Structure 1
Amino acid sequence: MQCHVDTAQAGERPAAEQEEAPLLAQQPSSRTGLCSTRCGLALVLHVSLFMAYTLRVSLSIAIVAMTNSSHPYGWSGNAPNGSHPGFAQDAPVYNWSAETQGIVLSSFFYGYSLTQALGGYCSGLFGGKPVLGSGLLLSSLITLLVPRAAEFGISFLIGLQVLLGLAEGVIFPAQYTLWAKWAPPLERSRLMNVADAGCTFGTFFALLVAGIICQSLGWPFVFYIFGGIGCAWCLCWFLLVYEDPVRHPWISAREQEYIVSSLAHQGSCHGRYLPLVAMAKSLPLWAITIACFCTDWLFYMLLTSMPTFLSSVLRFDLRENGVLSSLPYVGNGLGHILAGLLADFLLARQVLGTAAVRKLFSALGMLLPAIFLVAVPYIGSSSAVVVLLTLALTIISMTGAGININHIDIAPRYAGFLLGITNTFGIVAGIIAPTAVGLLISQDLQTGWRNVFFVSAALNLFGLIFYIAFGSGTVQDWAREDAAVQ
């Protein structure tokens, strides 16, 4: 399968055929028009990642209603008949300890880490569209089974979360394989960040709505509703998305030629051979990997544990918890989009080179959130704490135009596989972080949360220093097509 495409297939379609085209078929009014096919792909990927994150985050807020206290780590006022005040009375409630809940929340990442590299490799061989679509469909079906798994026992729920992680693990690497075929270099930041913003907007939606569903319908309906919508969206995915510009039946010849010519230098996608030894020796790749680990620790810590912090330390009820937990992700989604636009502007105007842009946005996205986290334990106002956490998760989105896109800069032929590798290291942080939070706060709540924030800030600072020292913005020699060993 080739990443480059043949312009000979780019013919003008009849007007009637163009009028019947779906979302991705709209012709661009200009090279960078908002109605271009590649912008349509960014929108569809945005919704797909939105759905993926509603599925993975739903348990983080629903577990508050599933357990026999209003939050995992503290308050112990059980309601009559085993239900919480304000929750649907027929929803089952389970007696899970703080450590058990931490294991449940982190079990997703065990599966998620196993299919990252495999998803990148398979999407390079078979295409990003079928790999991503299959992963999202399986994730939706698995989500529908969560209430029944919880009834069977904690072991079944943990196993199902591992399966959910396995299914979702292929989604991000497959997305990068698609963008390697669709995103011109000077538009990568904006297109990929618009798509990635779906992650944080999906998190916002899940945290906001899941609490309301728990109180009005019962926590099982969180999984029924989100899983059902996910299955329906997968049909749209397979109808709207095409693997590359050549295969798209309604793309204009002008846009197809523009995309093809801008990506001609990167050559074909990888085959069965991968230069694993050269990858292992690459300092720029290690710089991305270590930075991803450090920043993902902070992100996953807040993603899975922020509802617990708001309820156990700041004493918000479940409805307030859902609203306040979701607010930082609105800023994060908007930050992704703005960072992408600004990064592409700097590159297009040649204000900074590729490496300088990636390091600048990584520095902003890693240093400032670390400062905010250090300040949180010393702030007496709950409102001020929410503001700082919102700013931290907003500004961390700047890394979307830095380390996150850097894979395609240094090795476009292997972008999906490399994303799978670096994401695997980042997910290790996701495995450790929730469990570490549970252990740190199980003895002393205030001191434990302070240590959680300090560790996250220190890791971010270390990762930033390493990335600035060894990061690169140019295609590596081992990633060039003429360097491949056939």
Structure 2
Amino acid sequence: MASLVELKPTAENSKFSQDIQTEKKLRKVPTLCSTRYGIAFIIHFCNFTLKAQSVILNITMVTMVNSNRSQMNGSAKRLPVDLLDGLNDTVKSFPMRGSAFGGQFALWEKWGPPCERSRLCTIALSGMPLGISIAILLGGVISQALGWPFAFYIFGSLGCVCCILWFVLVYDDPASHPWISVTEKEYIRSSMTQQVSFSKPCLPVKAILRSLPFWSMCLCGFSHQWFVNTLVAYTPTYISSVFNVNIRENGFLSALPFLAAWVVGVLGGQLTDFLLTKNFRLVTVRKLATVLGTFPPSAFLVGLPYLTSSYITSIALLTIACGLCPFCQSGIYINALDIAPRHASFLMGASRGFAQAAAILSPTVCGFILTQDLEYGWKNVFLLAFAINLAGLIFYLIFGKADVQDWAKERKLTRL
């Protein structure tokens, strides 16, 4: 553990020391009531809606199948719910979702002071587990009480509200925002003087494709999304098949792990920025957060099939496993802002789009495993998620960086 906290006079430490000094000089700048935090909460709501709309497909699909079951023939009646889940996750993996995540990171290039990026990004990203939990919690209730079409009406209306808030309140940078205070605008500008370039950067595609730190983000993000999508798609099915609980109770139990993930997601960013104020190396903090969000959750998930006799212990492990996942929001998911702040939106869109392939492959592969061997299917599904998650983590620990890469630095031309 001593190697994890070893302090060295690196460029990244010097950069964050300057950022912290800037923050101390401007303590009068508002935080939670500020414009930048307001934007973080708007993105939080957008991510909430984006994820809730995805998950609601899984829930309403089951209701739609049950409502039309009387019109189906015998073979259609036996259509596995797991395969339906796989089909739904394929639908929700359109490339536009990768661009949606990349687009929000373009804002933090101009709006996120380096000493606050972890907490701002995690506030925004924590809307995703909250969206999952609310969709699981209310989706079945809405479908039973009002009918499954109303689930689409309600969550679709939330998407319209998100669009209105975005168009009215979100601006590209502090300089163009009409309601930001002068003090906050100066604070953001001063803290990002060394990182933000106002010239249009040229995207070094070849250098990016040859960059191991970039690929470490992609592969670790893919492996982590495989694990997360396994939890999202199969947590309700696992609870139902193992513990034989009713639909309403299943909804509450399935939502509990993602409520824990929402809380940890918000607190994780606070912890990360706190460690940076204590002069921890930035790369150490990023990798430590990624380890906490990948290895313990995978290990807990592997132990679940061996604890089927203990109902309370199984639910507790499942909740802890899901709750620890958002630590990665302070690790790999904002690492692009460290290695290439001028190209962070492209890197995040590309890496997130690459990771979203797991939303297609994970339910499909896991559904096939469960249909082939029901007795040992859950063990194999969870063991596979552990192996993939561990492989991505190891690759990131070896090749991940947190300093600005040479290909991402601004080139200044001089004449002799």
TM-score of the two chains, using structure 2 as the length reference: 0.87
CA distance in 1, matches of 2:47, 2:198: 23
Superposed CA deviations along residues 288-311 of structure 1, whole A, max 9, x for unmatched, are: 111111111000111122222222
Structure 2: gaps spanning 5 or more residues: 1-25
1:107 to 86, 90, 102: 90
Change (3 A) 1:337 1:102: closer
Aligned to 2:54: 56
Change (3 A) 1:95 1:235: farther
Aligned to 2:300: 372
Aligned to 1:451: 380
CA distance in 1, matches of 2:64, 2:310: 29
Superposed CA deviations along residues 240-290 of structure 1, whole A, max 9, x for unmatched, are: 212110011121111111111212222337858421111111111111111
Aligned to 1:190: 119
Aligned to 2:3: none
Q: Which amino acid aligns with 2:290?
A: S
1:459 is displaced (CA, Å) by: 1.3
Q: Which amino acid aligns with 2:116?
A: E
The 3-state SS of whatever aligns with 1:97 is coil
1:221 is displaced (CA, Å) by: 1.4
Percent sequence identity over aligned pairs: 42
Within the alignment, does 1:178 sit opposite 2:107 as a pair? yes
CA distance in 1, matches of 2:297, 2:276: 25
1:354 to 282, 288, 298: 282
Q: Output aligned runs, 1:397-408, within 5 Å.
A: 397-408=326-337
CA distance in 2, matches of 1:218, 1:483: 62
CA distance in 2, matches of 1:181, 1:32: 18
Residue-pair matches, total = 383
1:460 to 375, 386, 389: 389
Within the alignment, does 1:441 sit opposite 2:370 as a pair? yes
Contact preservation (8 Å) 2:40, 2:121: yes
TM-score of the two chains, using structure 1 as the length reference: 0.75
Superposed CA deviations along residues 163-207 of structure 1, whole A, max 9, x for unmatched, are: xxx3x3421111000111100001000011011111111111111
Contact preservation (8 Å) 1:269, 1:414: no
Contact preservation (8 Å) 1:358, 1:402: yes
1:316 is displaced (CA, Å) by: 2.2
Q: Which stretch of the first structure deviates more once superposed, 270-279 or 242-251?
A: 270-279
Q: Which amino acid aligns with 1:375?
A: G
The 3-state SS of whatever aligns with 1:285 is helix
Superposed CA deviations along residues 369-407 of structure 1, whole A, max 9, x for unmatched, are: 111011001002233222111101111111111111111
Q: Output aligned runs, 1:313-324, within 5 Å.
A: 313-324=242-253
The 3-state SS of whatever aligns with 2:179 is coil
1:284 to 190, 213, 218: 213
CA distance in 2, matches of 1:465, 1:483: 36
Q: Which stretch of the first structure deviates more once superposed, 367-376 or 225-234?
A: 225-234
1:208 to 130, 137, 142: 137
Q: Which amino acid aligns with 1:430?
A: A
What RMSD, in angstroms, separates the aligned Cα atoms of the two structures? 2.2
Change (3 A) 1:261 1:198: same
CA distance in 2, matches of 1:103, 1:360: 32
Q: Output aligned runs, 1:157-306, within 5 Å.
A: 166=96, 168-268=97-197, 271=200, 273-306=202-235
Within the alignment, does 1:390 sit opposite 2:319 as a pair? yes
Superposed CA deviations along residues 442-477 of structure 1, whole A, max 9, x for unmatched, are: 122231111000010111111111111111110101
Aligned to 2:8: none
The 3-state SS of whatever aligns with 2:53 is helix
1:33 to 31, 34, 37: 31
Aligned structure 1 segments of 4 or more residues deviating by more than 6 angstroms: none
Aligned to 1:24: none
The 3-state SS of whatever aligns with 1:249 is coil
1:436 is displaced (CA, Å) by: 1.0
CA distance in 1, matches of 2:257, 2:150: 25
Change (3 A) 1:371 1:224: same
Contact preservation (8 Å) 1:365, 1:396: yes
The 3-state SS of whatever aligns with 2:333 is coil
Contact preservation (8 Å) 1:270, 1:414: no
CA distance in 1, matches of 2:218, 2:83: 30
Aligned to 1:46: 44
1:220 is displaced (CA, Å) by: 1.7
CA distance in 2, matches of 1:82, 1:220: 19
CA distance in 1, matches of 2:161, 2:343: 31
Contact preservation (8 Å) 2:98, 2:356: no
The 3-state SS of whatever aligns with 2:322 is helix
Within the alignment, does 1:341 sit opposite 2:270 as a pair? yes
